[in-house]
Structure 1
């Protein structure tokens, strides 16, 4: 591995996507959203008619799967299955509900971890997920573990859903968040946990910009990295792209 790799792990709703995107932009690094890769495999299985309660069938669906991601210093990550771009199509509620079936399959984990490590071979990467600092890049230059209380994360998620006209209550969202935490932390393969050498950041009372700035400062002090001068319009575009990427269609 050459160049710096910064890993950002944490539970769903902690703000990883927006913050990782902003930090990558400031530091002039590529941004990798590993959750999108699991979503893409889930999408592929759903549209290939694979039984999602059958791990062997899911593993078999990897045969011949052409999954590709395109990373950019300026724009969002793009995801392709074969020649078809699925960047937006993988953000549906249906994919969200079914992703845990796919993420629990060892063959899928191995397939995507290998792919992620290959992407990171040249470094210069900010990557976010749940096992980036523990499993995928255990020798990363800087590891960050972000968290927020379930109540705060549910409130953020509920606000996002309401903004899109979704008919759901805060209590329902909180239940979903708690269930997701239980599944993620109890997962045998790539379960959610903090790396021993990770820096903890509580995002409960901080804005995405404040958390991103904390990561940038850590990179500058620990890794002697330089920041780029980014105009406000570019930062706002990055925020918007990250937020839109999180929302279901």
Structure 2
């Protein structure tokens, strides 16, 4: 086992990967890396520039102009910077989700960000979540987990989250968006979402947050001896 421990968590949108990964990383004193936020940052840049995210050549052309950095503030949370500006809040805008999904399908975009992600894992013990962490980014990770839940449950959780934020959306619309995102993520040519052969499947459909966190910690400790 390498000096640093790498925990790779993959799974569909809305499965709770980020929330669980962030909490577990804090419990283990590991660095939490939300790779979805990195792709959202590119999606946000494309959206802000008025570029059609389906225009692959236009998206690729803008990459050299983007300086993307991950920072960790006094709150211990990951912050995203785009060309020197903190865009941590902006990348969570609902309209950015579709852009992130589309631009993340381009091989050039994924290659552009690959080394950044691997460098973080070389320098730190990490809990890293995304769509292709265990299959592409960290194929030799000590722990691989495929975290999922039914589309209906993920839509229900998202609906409650949006209501708490004061930006409610209809359940049916949220469910359609999640199903569309699932299809896009699993059918893209570059690093499609799939469970790595050596990943542990963790389905949280019937679990609350505490139960999900306990199950994830159990898997990590069982695999690493922590």
CA distance in 1, matches of 2:131, 2:101: 13
1:28 is matched with 29
1:75 is matched with 76
Deviation per CA, 1:8-55: give whole Å up to 9, x if none.
111111111111011101111000000000010111122233332311
CA distance in 1, matches of 2:31, 2:139: 19
1:187 is matched with 188
1:63 is matched with 64
When normalised by structure 2's length, the TM-score is: 0.94
Contact 2:15 2:147 in 1 (8 A): yes
1:121 is matched with 122
2:14 is matched with 13
CA distance in 2, matches of 1:72, 1:31: 12
Contact 1:146 1:201 in 2 (8 A): yes
1:45 is matched with 46
CA distance in 1, matches of 2:73, 2:58: 33
Equivalent runs, 1:49-198 vs 2, <5 Å = 49-71=50-72, 75-198=76-199
Contact 1:31 1:71 in 2 (8 A): no
1:206 is matched with 207
Number of matched residues? Answer: 225
CA distance in 2, matches of 1:54, 1:7: 31
When normalised by structure 1's length, the TM-score is: 0.85
Contact 2:46 2:99 in 1 (8 A): no
Q: Which runs of 5+ in 1 are unaligned?
A: 226-249
Moved more, 104-113 or 206-215: 206-215
Deviation per CA, 1:185-213: give whole Å up to 9, x if none.
11111211000000111101112222222
Ranges of 4+ aligned residues in structure 1 off by more than 6 Å: none
Q: CA deviation at 1:129?
A: 0.6
Q: Which runs of 5+ in 2 are unaligned?
A: none
